[in-house]
C-alpha cells in the first residue's frame, strides 16, 4: 500500500517541481535584467550575457516540460483537443528556449523565426490549455486560470514585468501539485 501511494504521488510532485523551477527561472531572469539592464544578451560576449541566455533556456524549457508533463498526467481527464494543445504548447516553449540561445550565442539569426514561432505557439497554446484544464475540472479550476492568465499577462506586459506574473503563476501551480492530498494524487494517477 505504501509503494502504491508513493508511486501515485510521484507524477504530481515531478510536474509541480518542474513548474516551480520554471517560475523561479522567470523571476530570476526578470531580476537579472533589472539589476543589470545594459547586458547585451544578443551578442553573447560576456558571462552575464551567457547567463541571460541560459536563464531564457531554462525558463522556456522548464515551462514547456511542465506543460508536456501536465498534459501527460491529466491525459485521461482531458479531451483529445486538450491533450494536443498541451503538447503543442509545451513543445513550442521547448523550441523557444533552445532556439533563443542558439540564435544569440551561435549568431544564427535565421533561428529568430523559429524562436518567434515557438514563443507564439507556446503562449497561445498555454492560454488555451489553461482554459481546457479549467473546463475539464481535472485540477482545481484556479490552476487552469493561473496558467492562462499568467501567460496572457506575460504576453501583454513582457517588457514591464510580465515575467513576474508567469513566474508567480507557475510557482503557485507547482506548489499546488506538490502539496496535493494523497487521495487527490491517487485519483489523478488512476
Sign of CA dihedral 180, 184, 188, 189: positive
* Ramachandran bin of 161, using left for φ above 0, alpha for ψ from -120 to 50, beta for the remaining angles: left
Say if residues 23 and 166 touch (Cβ distance below 8 Å): yes
Say if residues 138 and 77 touch (Cβ distance below 8 Å): yes
Q: pLDDT tens digits for 67-112?
A: 999 999 998 899 999 999 999 999 999 999 998 878 877 878 777 8
Q: pLDDT tens digits for 35-44?
A: 888 777 767 7
H or E element: which one contains 66? helix 47-73
Confidence at 1, pLDDT banded by 50, 70, 90? very low
Confidence at 184, pLDDT banded by 50, 70, 90? low
Q: What is the pTM of this model?
A: 0.87
Confidence at 190, pLDDT banded by 50, 70, 90? low
Amino acid at each position: 500500500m505504501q509503494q502504491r501511494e508513493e508511486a501515485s504521488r510521484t507524477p504530481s510532485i515531478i510536474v509541480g517541481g518542474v513548474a516551480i523551477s520554471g517560475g523561479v527561472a522567470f523571476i530570476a531572469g526578470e531580476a537579472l535584467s533589472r539589476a543589470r539592464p545594459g547586458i547585451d544578451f544578443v551578442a553573447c560576449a560576456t558571462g552575464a550575457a551567457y547567463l541571460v541566455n541560459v536563464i531564457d533556456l531554462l525558463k522556456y524549457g522548464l515551462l514547456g516540460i511542465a506543460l508536456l508533463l501536465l498534459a501527460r498526467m491529466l491525459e485521461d481527464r482531458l479531451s483529445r483537443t486538450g491533450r494536443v494543445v498541451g503538447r503543442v504548447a509545451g513543445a513550442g516553449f521547448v523550441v523557444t528556449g533552445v532556439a533563443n540561445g542558439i540564435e544569440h550565442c551561435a549568431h544564427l539569426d535565421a533561428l529568430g523565426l523559429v524562436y518567434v514561432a515557438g514563443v507564439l505557439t507556446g503562449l497561445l497554446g498555454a492560454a488555451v490549455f489553461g482554459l481546457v484544464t479549467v473546463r475539464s475540472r481535472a485540477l482545481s479550476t484556479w490552476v487552469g486560470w493561473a496558467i492562462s492568465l499568467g501567460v496572457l499577462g506575460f504576453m501583454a506586459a513582457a517588457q514591464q514585468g510580465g515575467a513576474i506574473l508567469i513566474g508567480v503563476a507557475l510557482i503557485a501551480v507547482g506548489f499546488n501539485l506538490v502539496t496535493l492530498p494523497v487521495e487527490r494524487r491517487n485519483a489523478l494517477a488512476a
